[in-house]
Amino acid sequence: MKIGCVREIKNNEFRVGLTPDNVRVYTAAGHEVLIERGAGVGSGFADVDYVAAGAHMVDDAANVWRSCEMMVKVKEPLPEEFPLFHDGLILYTYLHLAADRRQMDALLAGKVKAVAYETLTEADGSLPLLAPMSQIAGRLSLQEGAKYLESTFGGEGVLLAGVPGTPKANVVIIGGGTVGTNAAKIAVGMGANVTVLDISLKRLEQLDDLFGGRVQTLVSTDVNIERAVLDADLVIGAVLIPGGSTPKLFKKAYLKEMRPGAVFVDVAIDQGGCGETSRVTTHDDPIFIEDGIVHYCVGNMPGAVARTSAIALTNATLRYGLEIADKGLEQAIKENPAIASGVNTYDGNVTCRNLADSFEGCTYIEIETLV
């Protein structure tokens, strides 16, 4: 199969859909890989590395789009890329179509076979192509939180670990899933006092075992959240209700009662956020201060560490991408239900039930009936 990869053109997006190591794997399996010149530079991969791995470098993104049978990307295509869709093209990337009717219509009109990273689901219900980004955002939340606790950023001037003779910082993590667990790992490693709140007792048991009692676990109730955050230096919002909007657990009323200069990193902001005072910020302008509390609410945190993110993402995407390339999408759908669950549009049809439910008048067709 002819596999393509272009430079991401979304604002502040430096990740790339294929690394040189990925190219090596595809070419070793007999596939041809076309890479737009400069596509990997933002993630620290030079054109010569792609050439050494066996890729053909192409000057013009439009030529990559038109020549390839499967396009492997990171983010959804932007409107200026829509005219480059062609009948039968396999598009393998994050799509988030439920929030983007225009893009869905363009994929349907172009008869694109769109496989979305975010809906590809394994038999145990896990989302293998979303998890790496949550791991990164969770770990990064501590790095960013520690930075904005510094006095120069309006923070309270507290070092997470403290030093002998000073108090350690209190880190409170609301939500103990992938983001929360990874945040807790770094917080414990940095020597802070760490509290994790979750509504799932099973999850709290797992965290207690994982951290050998070095993390305080609490059932997530309004009372417990309030008690924990009033003495917090750093609060991490890491809640997810799959398919639903995030509950506003971190209330505006708490802010005035907290220590001025404490920091709130609302990782869940991409799903609406779990703070009443949260609003989306960008890497260009990541923080704002409300009632004395520094808010960090960047919706695409992994973009800040493009190289790690590109490697982590492609570690997860390579396996399914290679299966699609080796078998052809139709056979891969028949043999692997996880790949079938990733297909959002196929030959002008909507093949993801949740996506069809998101728009009035949109009909869902089971992918298995089309291949």
Q: Which residues are catalytic?
A: 96
With binding defined as CB under 6 A, does residue 142 bind ligand NAD? no
With binding defined as CB under 6 A, does residue 35 bind ligand NAD? no
Q: How far is the CB of 293 from ligand NAD (least distance, A)?
A: 18
- Running DSSP on this structure, what letter comes out for residue 269? G
Q: Which is nearer to ligand NAD, 128 or 177 (CB)?
A: 177
Long-range contacts of 278-284 (CB under 8 A, 24+ apart): 278/237, 278/250, 282/12, 283/12, 284/12
Q: What are phi and psi of 135, to 5 degrees?
A: -60, -45
Nearest Cα to Cα of residue 286 among 271, 301, 305: 301
With binding defined as CB under 6 A, does residue 195 bind ligand NAD? no
Q: Which is nearer to ligand NAD, 9 or 219 (CB)?
A: 219
- Tell me the window of 105-113, 191-199, 286-294, 339-347 that interacts with ligand NAD (CB under 6 A): 191-199
Among 33, 39, 71, 249, binds ligand NAD (CB under 6 A): 249
Answer whether 334's CB lies under 8 Å from 345's CB. no
In the bound state, the residue with its beta carbon closest to ligand NAD is: 177
- Tell me the window of 22-30, 70-78, 94-102, 174-182 that interacts with ligand NAD (CB under 6 A): 174-182
Answer whether 298's CB lies under 8 Å from 282's CB. yes
Q: Which is nearer to ligand NAD, 115 or 174 (CB)?
A: 174
Sheet with 193-198: list strands edge to edge. Answer: 216-219, 193-198, 170-174, 234-237, 263-266, 293-296, 287-290
Among 22, 193, 195, 220, binds ligand NAD (CB under 6 A): 220
Answer whether 109's CB lies under 8 Å from 153's CB. no
What is the sign, positive or negative, of the torsion defined by CA atoms of 74, 77, 81, 85? positive
With binding defined as CB under 6 A, does residue 197 bind ligand NAD? yes
Among 203, 329, 339, 341, binds ligand NAD (CB under 6 A): 203
Size of the site for ligand NAD (CB under 6 A): 31
Q: How far is the CB of 179 from ligand NAD (least distance, A)?
A: 3
Neighbours of 221 (CB within 10 A): 12
Q: How far is the CB of 71 from ligand NAD (least distance, A)?
A: 23
Report the chain's C-alpha Rg in angstroms.
22
Residues in contact with ligand NAD by CB under 6 A are 133-134, 137, 174-180, 197-200, 203, 220, 238-241, 247, 249, 267-271, 299-302
